[in-house]
Chains A and B, each alone.
Chain A
Amino acid sequence: MSAASVERQIREFILRGPRGTALRNLGSDDSLFALGALDSMGVVGLVVFCEECLGVEIADEELVPENFQSTGAIARLVCRSPRTNGAS
């Protein structure tokens, strides 16, 4: 799974959220928090998505704003997180 493909999947996940198509110009480094694209619930949903659909385990210590501020930052977090067994 390449970093670019991870980032594309995360971007698609966020675009499926309540903000939806209004975020279609979302750039790799745009602040998700300033755009209102991600709130507490959104972070929880995103972590579940990364763990269940991307097959990685996000450690509690990684739940910090720096790792979730943009789609690029989330993709980097996913790429360095340990893979769970059996994930594709």
Chain B
Amino acid sequence: MSAGGTLVDLLSDCAARHGDRAALVFDDLTLTYSGLERAANRAARSFIRHGVRPGDRVAIWMPKSREAIVAIWAAMKAGAAYVAIDPAASALRALSYMRNCEVSALVTVPALGRALAEIADRRVGLNAVWYANANDDAHAIAGCLAVEWAEVEAESSQANEVSVAPDDLAAVQYTSGSTGTPKGAMIAHRTLVHQALWTRRELAISEHDRIGGYAPIAAAMSGFDLFVGVSAGASMYPVSARIAPFPGAVIKSWSEQRITICYLVPSALMMMLAQGRIHALDLSALRIVGFAGEAYPLARLRELMEHLAHVQFVHSYSRTETRIRSIHEVKFPPEESDVRRIGRVPPDCAMLVLDENQRPVRTGEIGELWIAGPAVMRGYWGQPEMTAQVIKKIAIGGAEVLGCRTGDLVRLCEGGAIELVGRADQQVKIRGHRVDLGEVEAALNRHPAVERAVVTVVAQPAGNELRAIVMIKAGAGADAAQLRNHCAAILPPPMIPAIIDFRAHLPLSPNGKIDRRALKKSAAVDQ
């Protein structure tokens, strides 16, 4: 398997070499690698039968399940890119993603299909909708064919004739953007294969590993669970939608399943530690805990490392747009630099620390992190201007490379190490989810009663929370519940403000902009 292959090749190779090994263990049902290959072939044939063509997009909007994972592989086998959408997203938001990248097919469950049918009065543009776990009547969406999953099972399990190339898109992954316009990062097969093979090598992942898959399939982090195992013949144990909300139940199941590797956000690890009675569980099989996506409070990390003294802890850095998955091994006792240090990256990827004129900073200075190499996305779907703002040609030592800006501020340390310092923009992390404060503000400002809204982040013991400060229009009225419902219709759950305060006026800085620092200070006083 060369680094230039596709994810489709990766699965076929794995099925040929490790056909009888467990690929997916889900709710006590095991699907082997040859079983996964056959199931994906059947679903790919069904997609093609109902109009999915190479270069299309297939949306997968449903809770994490066996069918959802089979559908991801099937979309790629049909030559399409998969577009995983958070099942908690409102129908309006799911529709905005589907319209943005013009998906030709959707795989969902009946309840979500109904939610979509209620708002999609005009033709959505879909050829067909597949209903997995259909235990009640599927609801017709105007202008598209409904296909029951049982029909998929009747297809031939032979591979289809479509050929997929390394530069073809494997996925379009949506992320929060400041304007409220959907930002779909286009990720090529080459990028995800490169990332999977690098991770396999650096963490010495083998067919004996059992990976606990915690990340939602719509999150970029799920690339670890979905693809690294396939590159090594390891088994993936996806955390089902049923137990995912209960961190104590997740860690207990990992003990029973003898999970060896997991890769997740610190907020999930902190909840497992708080609710999971880790000291009473047998976690002797666990060998690596990787964490990424947000800052890990040092005291909490130390506490978990004390409980799991035999485990290798790894701080990793990766973003939806730049799939680099760096590796920094944390030694006990962890230090502040351990939760900030980016660590090593693939030899063919470059990390550049640049000033605002895109010139390298000197050692000790802070700059913005840019990434170059195969880890970089192809751009945002249908947004050439937005793409041009983040992907630029950079001159480095006489050569020109295509770099992608991350928005992360980093310090270039002695010896070349790079440490995360903060953000260059208004992006924050809420329970590991990327949230652009500007997008939440834009949503609130769309409410007819809102004159102006400002959103800040408040640090709470359980993690960050969003706090909105709202000025209501003269003569209009809206309460916090109404504003929260308004947000829920257009924003995913992590972006709905937990606290909504009303103010008669908002503090302005001397240049007439809203003074965020003053607001933050007043938020601290309120508590």
Residues of A within 8 A of B136 (CB): 25
Provide the bound-state CA to CA distance between A70 and B242, in Å.
11
Provide the bound-state CA to CA distance between A25 and B136, in Å.
9
Q: How far is the CB of A24 from chain B (nearest CB, A)?
A: 9
Given A19-B115, A23-B111, decide whether A36 and B63 contact each other with a Cβ distance below 8 A. yes
Q: Is the CB of B245 within 8 A of A68?
A: yes
Given A18-B90, A64-B248, decide whether A35 and B111 contact each other with a Cβ distance below 8 A. yes
Tell me the chain A residues, 1-59 only, with Cβ under 8 Å from chain B: 16-23, 25, 31, 33-44
Provide the bound-state CA to CA distance between A60 and B272, in Å.
12
Is B114 an interface residue, CB under 8 A from the partner?
A: yes
1/0 contact string of A45-88 vs chain B (CB within 8 Å) = 00000000000000010011100110000000000000000000
A33: contacting residue among B110, B241, B275, CB under 8 A? B241
Number of A-B contacts (CB under 8 A): 79
Q: Is the CB of A20 within 8 A of B115?
A: yes
Provide the bound-state CA to CA distance between A22 and B489, in Å.
13
Q: Is the CB of B112 within 8 A of A22?
A: yes
Q: Is the CB of B109 within 8 A of A39?
A: no
Q: Is the CB of B493 within 8 A of A39?
A: yes
Provide the bound-state CA to CA distance between A69 and B242, in Å.
7
Q: Is the CB of A40 within 8 A of B244?
A: yes
Tell me the chain B residues, 432-490 only, with Cβ under 8 Å from chain A: 485, 488-489
Residues of B within 8 A of A36 (CB): 62-63, 87-88, 109, 111-112, 241
Count residues on chain B whose CB falls below 8 Å from chain A CBs.
33
B111: contacting residue among A22, A42, A44, CB under 8 A? A22
Which residue, A17, A25, A33, A37, has most C-beta atoms of chain B within 10 A? A33
Q: Is the CB of A34 within 8 A of B246?
A: no
Residue of A nearest to B93 (CB): A18
Residues of B within 8 A of A31 (CB): 242
Is B152 an interface residue, CB under 8 A from the partner?
A: no
Q: Is the CB of B115 within 8 A of A34?
A: no
A43: contacting residue among B65, B246, B248, B485, CB under 8 A? B246
Is B240 an interface residue, CB under 8 A from the partner?
A: yes
Residue of B nearest to A16 (CB): B485
Q: Is the CB of A37 within 8 A of B111?
A: yes
Provide the bound-state CA to CA distance between A43 and B112, in Å.
18
Q: Is the CB of B245 within 8 A of A39?
A: yes
Residues of A within 8 A of B298 (CB): none
Residues of B within 8 A of A60 (CB): 248, 275
Q: Is the CB of B91 within 8 A of A22?
A: yes
Q: How far is the CB of A33 from chain B (nearest CB, A)?
A: 4
Q: Is the CB of A39 within 8 A of B242?
A: no
Residue of B nearest to A31 (CB): B242
Residues of B within 8 A of A33 (CB): 63, 240-242
Provide the bound-state CA to CA distance between A37 and B493, in Å.
13
Provide the bound-state CA to CA distance between A37 and B243, in Å.
14
Q: Is the CB of A18 within 8 A of B242?
A: no
B245: contacting residue among A20, A34, A40, CB under 8 A? A40
Is B303 an interface residue, CB under 8 A from the partner?
A: no
Residue of B nearest to A61 (CB): B248
Q: Is the CB of B249 within 8 A of A64?
A: yes
Provide the bound-state CA to CA distance between A36 and B241, in Å.
8
Residue of B nearest to A19 (CB): B115
Is B118 an interface residue, CB under 8 A from the partner?
A: yes
Residues of A within 8 A of B255 (CB): none
Residues of A within 8 A of B5 (CB): none
Q: How far is the CB of B297 from chain A (nearest CB, A)?
A: 20
Provide the bound-state CA to CA distance between A35 and B63, in Å.
8
Q: How far is the CB of A73 from chain B (nearest CB, A)?
A: 11
Residues of B within 8 A of A17 (CB): 488
Q: How far is the CB of A64 from chain B (nearest CB, A)?
A: 5
Residue of B nearest to A40 (CB): B245
Q: Is the CB of A42 within 8 A of B245?
A: yes
Q: How far is the CB of B254 from chain A (nearest CB, A)?
A: 15
Provide the bound-state CA to CA distance between A18 and B241, in Å.
17
Residue of B nearest to A38 (CB): B245
Is B133 an interface residue, CB under 8 A from the partner?
A: yes
Given A34-B133, A63-B275, decide whether A41 and B88 contact each other with a Cβ distance below 8 A. yes
Is B343 an interface residue, CB under 8 A from the partner?
A: no
Residues of A within 8 A of B493 (CB): 18, 39, 41-42
Residues of B within 8 A of A34 (CB): 63, 65, 109, 133, 241-242
Provide the bound-state CA to CA distance between A17 and B111, in Å.
13
Known: A18-B488, A35-B110, A41-B88. 8 other contacts (CB 8 A): A20-B115, A22-B111, A22-B112, A34-B65, A40-B244, A43-B246, A63-B246, A65-B242
Q: Name A residues whose Cβ lies closer than 8 Å to a Cβ of B.
A: 16-23, 25, 31, 33-44, 60, 63-65, 68-69
A-B contact pairs, 7 of them (CB 8 A): A19-B111, A22-B115, A34-B133, A36-B63, A39-B63, A63-B275, A64-B246
Counting from the closest, the 5 A-B pairs by CB-CB distance are A22-B115, A36-B87, A41-B493, A43-B245, A33-B242
